[in-house]
Structure 1
Amino acid sequence: MWMDKQRGIRVSQEELLCKNACGYYGNPAWQGLCSKCWRERARAAGTPREEIRPRCDGTLPTFSKFEEKKNIEKGRRINTVRRLFWGSPSPPKPQESSESRANVLKAYENLEPGDFTGFLKILRSPPSQRLQSRCTAFLNTMEAYHDLPVQKQSDLVQDFYQSFAEYFSSFPEAQVTQIMEHVEKLIMTRLHKWVFCHDSCDDEQKDLALQRRIRSLNWVTPQMLGVPFPDEKVSVTGDPFLPAITAIIEMDAKRAPQDKLACVSKCSQHVFEALSRSNSEPANADDFLSSLVYVVLKANPPRLHSNMQYVIRFGLPHSLMAGESGYYFTNLSCAVAFIEKLDGPALSLSPEEFEGYMLGQRTPCALNRRQQVISDTQNLLEDLKGRQEKLDQGMDALNAQLQKWVQEVHSQLDETRSQFVLAQKEITAQKEVLLSTQDNKEESVLVLEDQDGGLRETGC
């Protein structure tokens, strides 16, 4: 399945489907089965065996008293939890009237796709009080019994999905799917802190093991995986798969399983976009899977195993069994399984070469070239940093000179202004002297004219 000399990863469409040939996508976590077939097999294997009475010949029963008591106690706990979830069968609750049920269904019929806020408003309205009480009781009981095994919690959540969907059995399948996506988001956002990476399972240990495994494979190059883009065309900061790497890392920050699946779908779409830019030919399933392995190795997403198990246990079955999200999640599961079993032949390497890479004794040529490019880039950045420091120093010196020049100009202006004031005072004084001189001359002329006129009159 995994080995190919020219392309390290190859998986056919038939290998992605359920082994029971039901037409849905399987998953390595379910031993190649879909979620429906896996749960049916698990429940069939977990049904309590009938007690075998002692026969008349005195032979002993097939199991001990301790096992019998344990099964009885287990059944009692399950029945207690079910009574807390769905209420006691007696006394019977009043049946919902057909008119109120019709009003509730009419409100949900007008709900827009993806309108989670509108769904909450309808759920909190008086006609939907029965459904709201059902959700509230289920959430409170699940929180109170959060120490149940995680598989039992998963079964209870899936049973709740199924019973809640039966309320809208008259709706089209697409509309029921939209409503159940809102229900899943409401329920699992509240239950995330109780059921994610539960103490009853070993998800945390598997997360650490997977992270160490991915970290030890940091030397794997796109050429080894058969990713269809040449290394020399990709710059250090221009990896075309960077948006896909970012999207798969964001999965751990989401709470609802559908939001985590949306991150997987977003990552896969970015992978196809990168393949379309890097290769002139349309991308096939092998190109997509090898690129997805490359993205997972470069991203090393936090708590990847726990996130995938969380989606498997508490996500809506239709999201994983069919459709675009189911196909992408199945490929992600195959990519993780490939990474866990990765060996030399899968990368077209001999066992000795693979061991040398794992021990750090060998380094791929493409990685050496990239490291050389990184080193050259760092040297260029150091050179640019030195030139920037020199430029800053020159700017500081120029700024000091400019301030000094401005001060000198201001001082010269002050000196010129004072000289101008003095010159203006001198001009004003000279003007006053000239005016006084002219006045004296005019007075003397008038006196002379008066004297001359008086002499003329005396002579007559």
Structure 2
Amino acid sequence: MWTDKHRGIRVSQEELLCKNGCGYYGNPAWKGFCSKCWREKSRPAGVSRHDARPSNDGAPPTFSKFEEKKNIEKGSRYNTVRRLFWGSSSPPKPQESSESNANMLKAFQSLEPGDFPSFLKILRSPSSQRLQSRCTAFLKTMEAYHALPVQKQSDLVQDFFQSFADVFRSFPEDHVTQIMEHVEKLIMTRLHKWVFCHDSSDDELKDLALQRRIRSLNWVTPRMLSVPFPHENIPVTGDPFLPAITAIIEMDAKRAPQDKLACVSKCSQQIFEALSASNNEPANADDFLSRLVYVLLKANPPRLHSNMQYMIRFGLPHSLMAGESGYYFTNLSCAVAFIEKLDGPALSLSPEEFESYMRGQRAPAALTKRQQVVGDTQHVLEELQGRQERLQHGADVLGVELQEWVRAIHTQLDEATNQLVEVQKEMKAQAEASRVSSTCPDESTRGRDEEESILVPSDQHVGPKNQNVAPNH
């Protein structure tokens, strides 16, 4: 059950849309404009546009509507870089035969959504040699000129995306979008280490400032943000927004803008799932932003500002300007802007109370109780750790004693074995002596019998002879 049902921070759908009225999502990073309008607004004065803005006739947004062809040169330095990977100020025209081009388009038409390995396989095929060469040349050029200002690099990447999409202008727009998502992943995975948190930007300083700001607001409770939270008897580890916190932290480990944006979408979907599980009614978008603010305060994602700027500069425009991912990213930008400007009235606190919380002079009752629970849990963990150490020490002592006992047993066995060998030797010697002694009497008896056999015939011969002699009278 949830303890709080009232609404939190509320932002209407109109406030999320572009200030120029084009129908796409705006963003605080672009002063409330969408990516397309912001680029046009930032265009140097005197540069004219050749293509008219597509009208918002209610049709679903397409890739070609997000990025115009740029036929006007933007400076000699920009033209020099373009010539290095295109050979001229405009993209080269296909030189292959119509049959080869048809085979290439047929191969890309059979590509399944999200099948990045198959995309790489098709790109390496002979029919796609021109596209592969263009990608390779562009990557080498961007790596060689990685010292260019990050905004100039962003323009080059977006130009490359548009020129690559022009190859598939005969395809349905949703299929072009799928192909361009693969192209973005291929290009930006390689360029990530060169353009992310670039030295020409102040992203690193803003990352540190935002992290310090979020860390200073660690006392903000869910109730202050009107975020429904379980009863106090539910353990601390039972935070229903923990999966969302994990998802937004994982964003920094990704390299492709679409993969980072997928983490934002996953975080947002986890928040909606937690809201749906807490209420009997479907999750309301009005409750979403306050929950997202709570998740950011608890997660304090690493390099949050740099990751957002990376997606803005080098992601596909349609991903941030429309659709589910665009809605989630716009809310993320609004949540960051809210945290940066957070004050007492936004939390239903007086300025004095807010300052006392910021200085650490006081803490909310709910936070104090949860801190006490955390302290008690930490004390129990320390006690268990002490018991474990003592148990481990006893196990080590017992192991040493067991080894000594085994060695003693082996020694006794060796001694018993030696004694057994000696006894066996003595018994064998005694048996041999007994055999010899029993054999000797038989031989002496046989000798006497032979002597007697010799004497007896002699006596018999003498006897008769003596009988024939006449006695002397």
* Smaller-chain TM-score bracket: 0.7 to 0.9
Q: Which residue of 1 aligns with 2:283?
A: 283
8 Å contact 1:227–1:290 — kept in the other structure?
A: yes
8 Å contact 1:244–1:267 — kept in the other structure?
A: yes
Q: Which residue of 2 aligns with 1:452?
A: none
CA separation of 1:317 and 1:25: change in aligned 2, threshold 3 A: same
| Partner-residue secondary structure (3-state), 2:360 | coil
Q: Which residue of 1 aligns with 2:373?
A: 373
- Structure 2: which 5+ residue stretches go unaligned? 49-72, 440-473
Deviation string, structure 1 residues 97-147 (Cα, Å, up to 9, x no partner): 322211110111122222222222222222112222222333333334434
CA separation of 1:77 and 1:390: change in aligned 2, threshold 3 A: closer
Q: Which residue of 2 aligns with 1:105?
A: 105
Q: Give me the whole-angstrom Cα distance separating, in 2, the residues matched to 1:89 and 1:397.
A: 79
8 Å contact 2:197–2:204 — kept in the other structure?
A: yes
Deviation string, structure 1 residues 370-410 (Cα, Å, up to 9, x no partner): 22112212221222233334434444555566567667767
Q: Give me the whole-angstrom Cα distance separating, in 2, the residues matched to 1:436 and 1:137.
A: 104
1:20-59 matches, within 5 Å, as: 20-43=20-43, 46-48=45-47
CA separation of 1:414 and 1:188: change in aligned 2, threshold 3 A: closer
Q: Give me the whole-angstrom Cα distance separating, in 1, the residues matched to 2:415 and 2:193.
A: 79
Q: Give me the whole-angstrom Cα distance separating, in 2, the residues matched to 1:78 and 1:139.
A: 16
8 Å contact 1:293–1:339 — kept in the other structure?
A: yes
Q: Give me the whole-angstrom Cα distance separating, in 1, the residues matched to 2:128 and 2:420.
A: 91
One-letter amino acid of the structure 2 residue matched with residue 128 of structure 1: S
Q: Which residue of 2 aligns with 1:128?
A: 128
| Misfit runs of 4+, over 6 Å | 407-439
8 Å contact 1:251–1:263 — kept in the other structure?
A: yes
8 Å contact 2:8–2:227 — kept in the other structure?
A: no
Q: Give me the whole-angstrom Cα distance separating, in 2, the residues matched to 1:132 and 1:23.
A: 35
Q: Give me the whole-angstrom Cα distance separating, in 1, the residues matched to 2:76 and 2:435.
A: 128
Q: Which residue of 1 aligns with 2:352?
A: 352
CA separation of 1:35 and 1:234: change in aligned 2, threshold 3 A: farther
Q: Give me the whole-angstrom Cα distance separating, in 1, the residues matched to 2:354 and 2:141.
A: 51
8 Å contact 2:18–2:26 — kept in the other structure?
A: yes
Q: Give me the whole-angstrom Cα distance separating, in 1, the residues matched to 2:410 and 2:191.
A: 73
1:72-91 matches, within 5 Å, as: 75-88=75-88
One-letter amino acid of the structure 1 residue matched with residue 197 of structure 2: C
CA separation of 1:374 and 1:436: change in aligned 2, threshold 3 A: same
Q: Which residue of 1 aligns with 2:443?
A: none
Alignment RMSD? 3.9
- How far 1:335 sits from its partner (Å)? 0.7
Tell which deviates more after alignment, 213-222 or 78-87: 78-87
Q: Which residue of 2 aligns with 1:443?
A: none
One-letter amino acid of the structure 1 residue matched with residue 185 of structure 2: K
Deviation string, structure 1 residues 24-71 (Cα, Å, up to 9, x no partner): 22211122222222223333x54349xxxxxxxxxxxxxxxxxxxxxx
Q: Give me the whole-angstrom Cα distance separating, in 1, the residues matched to 2:200 and 2:437.
A: 120
Q: Which residue of 2 aligns with 1:66?
A: none
Q: Which residue of 1 aligns with 2:274?
A: 274
Q: Give me the whole-angstrom Cα distance separating, in 2, the residues matched to 1:159 and 1:235.
A: 52
- How far 1:83 sits from its partner (Å)? 3.7
Matching of residue 170 in structure 1 with residue 170 in structure 2 = yes
Q: Which residue of 1 aligns with 2:240?
A: 240
1:174-213 matches, within 5 Å, as: 174-213=174-213
Q: Which residue of 2 aligns with 1:64?
A: none
- How far 1:343 sits from its partner (Å)? 0.7
Q: Give me the whole-angstrom Cα distance separating, in 2, the residues matched to 1:263 and 1:179.
A: 20
Q: Give me the whole-angstrom Cα distance separating, in 2, the residues matched to 1:88 and 1:401.
A: 82
8 Å contact 1:289–1:335 — kept in the other structure?
A: yes
8 Å contact 2:289–2:331 — kept in the other structure?
A: yes
Give me the identity figure in percent.
Answer: 79
CA separation of 1:426 and 1:236: change in aligned 2, threshold 3 A: same
8 Å contact 1:8–1:347 — kept in the other structure?
A: no
Q: Give me the whole-angstrom Cα distance separating, in 2, the residues matched to 1:115 and 1:370.
A: 46
CA separation of 1:192 and 1:47: change in aligned 2, threshold 3 A: farther
| Partner-residue secondary structure (3-state), 2:113 | coil
Q: Which residue of 2 aligns with 1:262?
A: 262
8 Å contact 1:203–1:306 — kept in the other structure?
A: yes
Tell which deviates more after alignment, 347-356 or 199-208: 199-208
CA separation of 1:306 and 1:437: change in aligned 2, threshold 3 A: closer
Q: Give me the whole-angstrom Cα distance separating, in 2, the residues matched to 1:155 and 1:405.
A: 77
CA separation of 1:326 and 1:357: change in aligned 2, threshold 3 A: same
Q: Give me the whole-angstrom Cα distance separating, in 1, the residues matched to 2:265 and 2:139.
A: 28
| Partner-residue secondary structure (3-state), 2:42 | helix
One-letter amino acid of the structure 1 residue matched with residue 46 of structure 2: T
Matching of residue 335 in structure 1 with residue 339 in structure 2 = no
Q: Give me the whole-angstrom Cα distance separating, in 1, the residues matched to 2:312 and 2:182.
A: 18
| Partner-residue secondary structure (3-state), 1:219 | coil
Q: Give me the whole-angstrom Cα distance separating, in 1, the residues matched to 2:164 and 2:370.
A: 55
- How far 1:433 sits from its partner (Å)? 12
CA separation of 1:376 and 1:280: change in aligned 2, threshold 3 A: farther
- How far 1:422 sits from its partner (Å)? 9.3
Q: Give the alignment's TM-score, normalised by structure 1.
A: 0.78
Q: Give me the whole-angstrom Cα distance separating, in 2, the residues matched to 1:236 and 1:159.
A: 49
Q: Which residue of 2 aligns with 1:220?
A: 220
Q: Give the alignment's TM-score, normalised by structure 2.
A: 0.76
CA separation of 1:117 and 1:429: change in aligned 2, threshold 3 A: closer
Count of matched residue positions in the alignment of Structure 1 and Structure 2? 432
